[in-house]
Structure 1
Amino acid sequence: MIALERMPAVQYLAIGVRCLLVMVFLSAVVGKVAPRGGFGLFVASIRDMRLLPVGLARPTALLVLAAESSVCVLLASPAAGVASIGLGLATLLLIGLTAAVVLVNRRADAVSCRCFGASSSPLGARHVFRNAFLTVLGAAGVIASRGDGPMDADGVVVAVCAGALLALLIVKLDIFVDLFQTSPRPSPGRREGR
């Protein structure tokens, strides 16, 4: 087996994943607290999931926000060991979030995705895929963060840019899917609007 320490590419993977996850979790935190009433909508979405007793919706929302904020702080740390803890926490949090979305989908409940703030898109298979993908990246980041050695500045810039671009696509997933989703067309012979 090849030692990770001898594979400099894994260090770039770890940097890219850290950048991606910090942007995703930061977007999630800001989306839940910045808009007026955003936190209340997030609490309501947890309540609508019906996974916990109603009285635990607000404490759970606060716990999720604290965990997401902690992930951002840990991943932004220049200390590799601290960032590795952030990658591990992000992966565990994503496992829990993915499980929650799967459970909601199995019941076929129409619960709005409040992952990144206000959204009218109901939780669905795309959210399971997104979270599972992020979970795999988080786990890969944990493994890749074990790499050590000198890094080239150009490689770091490419890794950060790739992570940022992928984070943007992930955060705006609902918009992209809705944009390219085909809308039903009226059948021939039927006129709309009458």
Structure 2
Amino acid sequence: MAYALLGVRLVVGIVFAASAFGKLRGAEAFRRFEEAARAMGVPARLNRPVAVAVILGECAAVVLLALEPGGAPGFVLTLLLLTAFTAGIVRTLRSGTKASCACFGATTVPIGRRHVVRNGVLLALALFGLAAALTGTAAPASTPGVLITAFGALTGALLVIFTDEIGTLFEDDTPRAPGRVRSSSSHPAR
């Protein structure tokens, strides 16, 4: 359990660190994040304070996840942030508003179901991490085990961070009509 908790702390911590860094890497990235927040329904007068609060929350989550014992306060904060982010994404999808996901900085990829799935995975990881942290799981003792766990966590975090890029690899840009899937064979069904 110790290595699982370490792995989850690292995945969630790396993802939140990359998210904060992506928004802070320059004025353009921060402006794009503000635009995305506005497109997701944040009122204009609250746009900058909300953007700053999100980034501060992400930075705080990273620090809290690194603290002992087990990073429980960090998991609580990540659960709150991820719940708010997911609610905003679902609201945007339901409204039909076209907005890009500026989760990790500037991007042109529109918000889609993959973002809900990504956040669902992160929510599940954070819930597991919180439960493990609250049980008082001991810290891992084996250096090779820690290194293997860190490598696996980095790999998992990169998959989360590059969700948009990975998702576009599997899109075929073919328009789909709603309804039943039809056979591609030239023979009608009998």
Query: Please, what TM-score do these two structures have when normalized by structure 1?
Result: 0.84
Kindly tell me the number of residue pairs found equivalent between the two proteins. 173
1:40 to 21, 31, 47: 31
Show the 5 A alignment for 1:5-154: 10-50=1-41, 52-77=42-67, 79-80=68-69, 83-145=71-133, 146=135, 147-148=137-138, 151-154=141-144
Q: CA–CA distance in 2 between the matches of 1:49 and 1:149?
A: 40
Amino acid at match of 2:12: L
Larger relative CO (CA 8 A, sep 6+): 1 or 2?
1
Amino acid at match of 2:132: A
Q: CA–CA distance in 2 between the matches of 1:139 and 1:162?
A: 19
- SS of structure 1 residue aligned to 2:8: helix
Amino acid at match of 1:12: Y
Amino acid at match of 2:128: A
| Match of residue 189 from structure 1 | none
RMSD of aligned Cα (Å): 1.6
- SS of structure 2 residue aligned to 1:118: coil
Larger mean CA deviation between 64-73 and 148-157 belongs to 148-157
Amino acid at match of 2:69: A
Structure 1 regions of 5+ residues with no counterpart? Answer: 1-9, 186-194
User: Any runs of at least 4 consecutive aligned residues in structure 1 with deviations exceeding 3 A, and if so which?
Assistant: none
Instruction: Tell me the CA shift for residue 180 of structure 1.
Output: 2.5
Amino acid at match of 2:160: I
Amino acid at match of 2:40: M
Amino acid at match of 1:93: L
Show the 5 A alignment for 1:155-174: 155-174=145-164
Q: Deviations over 1:74-102 (max 9, x none)?
A: 1123x215x21111211121111111111
